Structure 1
Amino acid sequence: MTRKLLLAVGLLLYASLVESADLLELIASKPALSQVKKIIEADDVLSSLLRTKSYMAFLPNDKALNGYQGVKDSILISYHLSNLPYLVQEMPDELNTDLAGNPRVYISKLPSGRPSTTGWEHLHVYINDAKVIDANHEAISSRGMKQMLHIVDRVITPTVPRGIDFSQIDSIYLNPDAQKLIEKPRYYGLEGSLSISEFEGRVNALNLHDVYNISGKNTFFIPVDAGINTIIDKQVIHGHVVPGKVLFTRTVQDSKEEFESLAFTDNLKVFISMENVSSFNNEDQYYAKSKTIASDVAHMKGTALARIVKGNIPIKNGVAHLIDRPLMLVATNVLAILQKTAQLSMFYDLIRNHDSGLINVMTVAKSLTIFAPSNEAFKKVNNRQLEQIQLNTENISRLLRLHVVERILTTDELMDRNREPNLQVPTLSKGQNLYFAINSLDPKSPVVTVEGAGVTGTLTTANVIARNGAVHIVDRLLGIPSQTVYEKLATDPILSATFNLSQQEGWNEKLKNRDEQFTLFVPTNDAWAEIRRTMPSAYKKLFMGSFAYHVRNILERHMIANSVFTLEELLSLTTNATVSGKNILQGRLNMTRGKVYFQARVTQSFGEYYTDWNGVRAKVIRPDLKCVNGVVHVIDKVMMMNRDVTVSGSAVPAASGLASLVATFFTVAFARALHH
């Protein structure tokens, strides 16, 4: 016991000695700061200052420095020092550093969602774009002044002239604002692919330098030369500036958060946002987006997207990001958007390699909308399925054209049409439609989902405008299922009532099985709402949870087990055509409970499809929602009657004869009907 007590006292004494050491000694005691220690010890002046004066250091760890490609010297370290020793949670919004010219760093504090144990853990604290990962280590200088050490996960790069004798240049360039940055970009290494001389020329020609020397904390987006191939006017330049906000890439946590640009007047309103999009190899790629919501004669409504090619350039009046093309301006055509947007490269390559005809359509068509899956969306796809589809020219073309609509379709129009039941539009893939749902009616940022062949995606970036159409970026590759029937019911908002009902006594657990197959006719929420209106007592019993036996009977009437029948195959059955690969009797299917007969009835009903059960005629409003273990056909009525929910002594519903087991599926064609 005595030995343990002595050890504990020794550890406490050691800790107190470390905490009472000067800042240089404290840095030397941290194994993660060995690289910084070497840089400091190589400079006698800097070493002396850290021993004697009041300082706060926010230093990059070894991992950060090892990955840093810039010059590692005392100039760099000086940008990580301030003479005001704050606890990290008490830091102000900005701090002057010890570097020549005293350039600022900017502090961002975001909630971490964690409890605070030592005073700061409830926060994510960023200094410019570097995150504080260890904090509040106190030291005392040799003169008795307070010192503080924090550790960050990235090197904080100053914007200082490099390779230039400071005595040969004006001191205003030691701590440049945005105007000085675009005036002398070569001082700061902005040459070659990072040259911004074209943009600076446009700013000069329009005499808009005052836009870039506005005081305060601002964010500036500057397009590089390679991306400028059209006229940039005053409003476009204003649309590249967010006043009063310093936006570093890592500190913008929500891509839906939008900021007013300088182009915000009665007639023209442009918002700016930023988004982190992982590339296919999991590297972070950041994008800037402009969204014009009120337009004038010269500027179209819609979204423009630009990749940040060099971000987080700290300047005297905020931060600058170099982007690969201007914001606010529209592309030549939709194909150009696919070509130039890095996060769409996999979709573009798929089209380029497999459907030259579609390339031509995108180039010459006057009105198109592309629902383009991002590279991230391809990570969610079964690669074997995709490879198999690519082996067949017709199949891959059908898949790609499922994402293309032969007209301009913006989210504004989808919002306007939101009240339409079963909102849908035809695609270039013959016979296949896209179906839409608006899950948030906020006009600034509606949440729009699109479904194609059973796969539902969300529009992550909408209304990227070209002269011949629009591109919406979606988070799914449509047409290749990844969900089970169970997951489809669980995630489709218009099928939630059927899903909730199917949970009784775990009936829907079987639908998770990827080794089984199902064909399911699923009533919509509106269909169940009709049951609630017309059969209130039956509805109440079904949804109260105590009539699982009756629920099972009704649901199994809507299900074909052990077989997958697309609409085309069902049509083949009803016309006595051969259904390839299906070992069945013509016109008859084995249901989970009893038999269902399909017969052909041809009437002129504009290509609509119905099931007809015991006088209940249900329209198939969304066919062929493919899943990995089956297919779902969405119908607008429930195939049930009041007598399905009867309570008797035996708790078994009375048989209703053969008629109650007969369902007629019939199709109606467009031909000739339009001519009558």
Structure 2
Amino acid sequence: MQGLPNSVLPHFYNLGNFKTRFLALLERNAVANTSLQYRQMTLFAPTNQAFQRYNGEMDDSLVLFHISNLATTLTNLDYSISSELDGNPPLWVTRRRDTMHDDIYVNNAKVDISRSYQATNRNGKMQVLHVVDQVLQPLLPLSQSSGGSPVYNPNAYQFLEHSDEFNIGPHRLRSFRQKVNQLQKKEVFNADGRHTFFIPVDEGFKPTTRSDLIDAKVVDGHVIPHHVLFTQATPDTKEFKSLAFSDNVKVIISFTTSMNGKEEITFVNSNTVAGDAKHSRGVVLADIVRANIPVKNGVVHLIQRPLMVVDTTIVDFLKEKEDGPLCKFYEVIMDLGEHNQFLNELIQAKDITLFAPSNEAWNEISVQNVIRNHQKLQEILNLHLVRERLPLDAIIHNNMNQIYQAPTALPRRYLYFNVINYQNNMTLTVEGGGVNATVTQTNIAATNGFVHIIDRVLGIPYTTVYEKMKTDPMLKNRVQTHREEICIPFLITFSRACETKQILERHMIRAGRSYTVSDLKLLANETHPFVLPTSRDPLRLRVKESDKNYYVEWNGRWIHVFRPDVECTNGIIHVIDEPFVLESDIRATGGADKSRLAYNICFLFISFIFARIFEY
């Protein structure tokens, strides 16, 4: 750090963006001016851009929440530091480890580490300046109205008890306060230390029967002990144990953010990973309606509805909030009319799983063009619905020894799952109708099933055959694509014994149209084969359907079509269990055994493709 005499004040004039809002407040406040002249201090100075985004109260006392009477460098910042505002409320410090360095936050404001500065005033007192990207917003009491004394620097329970006396906008907290007192859980919010508290607002207690579902364990599920978590300072999806984490019930909490247009909305998720008869497993998602309220023993977030309480259907969840994480999906459903088939099934079904595209997923131009066709839209919606409960652990279990496929509400169409575990970070992808989507939020629980939020709309392909085989998890580990030909890495090992290019050409149908498996079945049934042109020799196929699966007959053997109708922008891929390989295709060298080579190739070819391609 640099050093200048006469306090840190001259440094403001060297930083052009400080010459207005914050400096003006600083100069008008007598306490702040006295501190600058005679005392050591730490000053957290918001930028002008921070003030442009700030919509809270603006008076001279706001400066005091940005000042501490100790000179503290970044290295010496502890988990909290007292401010000079009435009651000396703490400023909470978070060190968030990034890949390259540690970021430092004061409450919800990020410190610009490169611009920290220290100096000595004329009385030899050290002073430190830290630049932050947000205005630090204190919890302020409303004007004194009933003769009582204002509450300064409350803890979480004092805030809850006197919430009507604080400036928290239109929100009221009486329903949750009543439950806390009724269940004798006052000590949970009174506890000393560093904690994070989630308090549902009164509007979240509709229907009124919801209040009956809140017991002592649910109240505990609204508290994260020993962590002060401000939204910007906390990584998305990072999980923290709640106070409701015991032998029988285990609840973890995390934050997620979602874009609704240009607005960023932050949600809190309570995930009951182990439940009991009273507490259902799964995720409850609640919008944070007012975030980052600092209190004496941590931070409070006001949320739109109680956590842990599963009392709504999937349709209720979709329409619960006009700007919710799936509001656009609900709009698309309603565009089909209130009595459409898809909506009726969502309402009436008892055991379903919905893979719901996020708000951002509907902004794709290709998606916008397709959803105007109501018949096509009905098919697309059905592709997102599975008629059974599929929580994440069931998908993982079913996917352990094979690629798991789940039938959808669209006849003969399946969803295919892939679980990627990299450095203990698990990612679930789902493929349907040629589209591979990532599951961004799992296990949202409803009374009639589960919702998983995905980042793309299924059934509207956006990649070519070339791109699909490079990126699809089921294909990319087996297929490496070149413009001249398709090469299978494991086949290269046998390149001297196998006419690789000729075999691959046999799997590529070149015609003036694309063929779904149902199209092929009409043309090539069990008794009448159909000849399809390829780059090598004509492909004679018969097609049959058995137990909701398709099979193609080639050269006297029936081959299972494991994954039919993977649609692409320039063709269709069908994944089959065996390749179209003849014994004469194998040119054994030396003492190699032809049959053994053929067996090895077929074994490694567990899921190959036969594809129709317009062009590369």
Partner of 1:674: none
Q: Judge which range, 202-211 or 182-191, deviates more.
A: 182-191
Q: Judge which range, 71-80 or 488-497, deviates more.
A: 488-497
Aligned with 1:205 (options 169, 175, 182):
182
Aligned with 1:410 (options 391, 406, 415):
391
Partner of 1:258: 239
Structure 1 residue identity aligned to 2:62: L
Q: Secondary structure at the match of 1:591?
A: coil
Partner of 2:70: 84
Q: Determine if the alignment matches structure 1 residue 175 to structure 2 residue 175.
A: no
Structure 1 residue identity aligned to 2:201: V
Q: Tell me how far 1:70 sits from its aligned partner.
A: 1.3
Partner of 2:59: 73
Q: Determine if the alignment matches structure 1 residue 378 to structure 2 residue 362.
A: yes
Deviations 1:184-234 (A, max 9, x none): 112222353x21111111112222111101111100011111111312111
- After TM superposition, the score normalised by the length of structure 2 is 0.87
Deviations 1:493-519 (A, max 9, x none): 33234323x45x86359xxxxxxxxxx
In 2 relative to 1, CA 207–554 (structure 1 residues): closer, same or farther, beyond 3 Å?
A: same
d(CA) in 2 for partners of 1:84 and 1:554? 77
> Please, which runs of 5 or more residues in structure 2 have no aligned partner?
590-609, 611-616
Structure 1 residue identity aligned to 2:538: K
Deviations 1:340-380 (A, max 9, x none): 2511011111001115332222222222211111112224x
Partner of 2:508: 559
Q: Secondary structure at the match of 1:270?
A: strand
d(CA) in 2 for partners of 1:413 and 1:647? 45
Partner of 1:672: none
Aligned with 1:147 (options 103, 116, 127):
127
Partner of 1:29: 14
d(CA) in 1 for partners of 2:494 and 2:200? 60
In 2 relative to 1, CA 54–190 (structure 1 residues): closer, same or farther, beyond 3 Å?
A: same
In 2 relative to 1, CA 591–46 (structure 1 residues): closer, same or farther, beyond 3 Å?
A: same
Q: Is the 8 A contact 1:36 1:62 kept in 2?
A: yes
Q: Judge which range, 297-306 or 155-164, deviates more.
A: 155-164
Q: Is the 8 A contact 2:383 2:408 kept in 1?
A: yes
d(CA) in 2 for partners of 1:547 and 1:376? 49
Taking every aligned residue pair, what percent have the same amino acid on both sides? 35
Partner of 1:396: 377
Partner of 1:627: 568
d(CA) in 2 for partners of 1:337 and 1:566? 36
Partner of 2:541: 598
Q: Tell me how far 1:560 sits from its aligned partner.
A: 2.0
Partner of 1:316: 296
Partner of 1:638: 579
Partner of 2:461: 481
Q: Tell me how far 1:572 sits from its aligned partner.
A: 3.0
In 2 relative to 1, CA 506–599 (structure 1 residues): closer, same or farther, beyond 3 Å?
A: closer
Q: Determine if the alignment matches structure 1 residue 568 to structure 2 residue 518.
A: yes
Q: Secondary structure at the match of 2:137?
A: coil
**For the aligned residues, what is the CA RMSD?**
2.9
In 2 relative to 1, CA 451–484 (structure 1 residues): closer, same or farther, beyond 3 Å?
A: same
Structure 2 residue identity aligned to 1:25: P
Q: Tell me how far 1:433 sits from its aligned partner.
A: 1.7
Higher helix share: 1
Q: Is the 8 A contact 2:497 2:587 kept in 1?
A: no
In 2 relative to 1, CA 387–265 (structure 1 residues): closer, same or farther, beyond 3 Å?
A: closer
Q: Is the 8 A contact 1:23 1:51 kept in 2?
A: no
Aligned with 2:406 (options 425, 444, 467):
425
Structure 2 residue identity aligned to 1:234: A
> Please, which runs of 5 or more residues in structure 1 have no aligned partner?
1-14, 115-121, 510-527, 529-538, 577-585, 649-664, 666-676
Deviations 1:44-98 (A, max 9, x none): 4422321332111111100111221112222211111112222224311111111
Deviations 1:85-135 (A, max 9, x none): 222243111111111111111111123444xxxxxxx32111111111243
Q: Tell me how far 1:430 sits from its aligned partner.
A: 2.3
Count of residues in Structure 1 that have an aligned counterpart in Structure 2: 578
In 2 relative to 1, CA 201–139 (structure 1 residues): closer, same or farther, beyond 3 Å?
A: same
Alignment of 1:254-653 (within 5 A): 254-255=236-237, 257-279=238-260, 281-340=261-320, 342-355=324-337, 356-357=339-340, 358-379=342-363, 381=364, 383=365, 385-419=366-400, 421-440=402-421, 447-500=427-480, 502-503=481-482, 507=485, 542-544=491-493, 550-561=499-510, 563-574=513-524, 587-599=530-542, 605-615=546-556, 617-641=558-582, 643-646=584-587
Partner of 2:42: 56
d(CA) in 1 for partners of 2:428 and 2:418? 6
Q: Determine if the alignment matches structure 1 residue 110 to structure 2 residue 87.
A: no
Q: Secondary structure at the match of 1:439?
A: strand
Q: Is the 8 A contact 2:541 2:553 kept in 1?
A: no
In 2 relative to 1, CA 211–555 (structure 1 residues): closer, same or farther, beyond 3 Å?
A: same
Q: Tell me how far 1:310 sits from its aligned partner.
A: 0.7
Alignment of 1:96-245 (within 5 A): 96-114=82-100, 122-133=101-112, 134-164=114-144, 169-170=148-149, 173-192=151-170, 194-229=171-206, 230=210, 231=212, 232-245=214-227
Deviations 1:378-400 (A, max 9, x none): 24x3x2x3344333322111111
Q: Secondary structure at the match of 1:448?
A: strand
Q: Secondary structure at the match of 2:232?
A: helix
Q: Is the 8 A contact 1:618 1:639 kept in 2?
A: no
Deviations 1:559-584 (A, max 9, x none): 124642222222232259xxxxxxxx
Q: Tell me how far 1:463 sits from its aligned partner.
A: 1.6
Q: Is the 8 A contact 2:497 2:588 kept in 1?
A: no
Deviations 1:7-66 (A, max 9, x none): xxxxxxxx97x7334222222332111211111122344223213321111111001112
Q: Tell me how far 1:637 sits from its aligned partner.
A: 1.2
d(CA) in 2 for partners of 1:597 and 1:101? 85
Structure 2 residue identity aligned to 1:246: V
d(CA) in 2 for partners of 1:56 and 1:368? 56
Q: Is the 8 A contact 2:96 2:234 kept in 1?
A: no
Deviations 1:556-607 (A, max 9, x none): 221124642222222232259xxxxxxxxx933321233223345x5x7334
In 2 relative to 1, CA 179–497 (structure 1 residues): closer, same or farther, beyond 3 Å?
A: closer
Structure 2 residue identity aligned to 1:106: W
d(CA) in 1 for partners of 2:293 and 2:148? 20
Partner of 1:93: 79
Q: Judge which range, 385-394 or 426-435, deviates more.
A: 385-394
Partner of 2:596: none
- After TM superposition, the score normalised by the length of structure 1 is 0.80
d(CA) in 1 for partners of 2:264 and 2:362? 16
d(CA) in 1 for partners of 2:241 and 2:60? 39
In 2 relative to 1, CA 394–143 (structure 1 residues): closer, same or farther, beyond 3 Å?
A: same
Q: Secondary structure at the match of 1:498?
A: coil
d(CA) in 2 for partners of 1:497 and 1:611? 24
Q: Is the 8 A contact 1:185 1:191 kept in 2?
A: no
Q: Secondary structure at the match of 1:252?
A: coil
Q: Tell me how far 1:635 sits from its aligned partner.
A: 0.9
Partner of 2:614: none
d(CA) in 2 for partners of 1:552 and 1:351? 47
d(CA) in 2 for partners of 1:410 and 1:612? 37
In 2 relative to 1, CA 420–104 (structure 1 residues): closer, same or farther, beyond 3 Å?
A: same
